[in-house]
Amino acid sequence: MSIITMYDYLPNATPDYTGTLSVDPQEIMVISGEKSIEIHRGIGIAEERVIFSTQTRFQVRLQWQVLSEADHSTLFDFYHNYAKGCGMGRTFYWQPPAQYDNHTYVVRFDSPWESFLRNYKIYGVASLVLVVLGKKTE
């Protein structure tokens, strides 16, 4: 049996910008997923669950403790450039690390930009969240 990833649960999608962000995260890549379900609790153990969508909303949190100036500039440009990510406004392609899978996803940023500079020219990004909207049409 092959490994099941978020690729297996996502629809095909087309991004606003066709460039690909591919700066591999360091240390940890956190993937979370949730369904759109509302739970109404009654008296005792009574409850009713309303499923609004069968699709999962995946988020990926990326972290970089030490980045080269070039990789920091790539991330900074993808986030702030109007034609690319435009902050949290536009979608684009993202490739996760090869050890996770070899697919390309359509994502947008889902967090504000926050980077840091240590000493001289040692850049980092504490956390950058992507929401995964679909997979690249193959």
Residue pLDDT, tens place only, 21-68: 988 887 778 889 998 888 889 898 899 989 888 889 999 999 998 898
Q: How far apart, in whole angstroms, are the C-alpha atoms of residue 65 and residue 79?
A: 18
Type of residue at 23: V
Radius of gyration of the chain (CA): 18
**Looking up tokens 């990926």, which residue turns up?**
60
User: Do the domain assignments include residue 35?
Assistant: yes
Q: What's the domain range around 27?
A: 6-136
The number of domains in the chain is 1
pLDDT tier, 1 (very low <50, low <70, confident <90, very high otherwise): low
Q: CA 57, 34, 79, 93: dihedral to nearest 10 degrees?
A: -40
User: Do the domain assignments include residue 1?
Assistant: no
CA dihedral sign of residues 97, 101, 107, 108: negative
Type of residue at 79: Y
User: Do the domain assignments include residue 73?
Assistant: yes
Instruction: Give per-residue burial for 15-40: e unless 16+ CB within 10 Å, then b.
Output: bebeeebebebeeeeeeeeeeeeeee
DSSP string, 8-38: GG--EE--SS--EE-----S-EEEEEEEEEE
Q: What is the pLDDT of residues 5-17, one digit of tens each?
A: 899 999 999 999 9
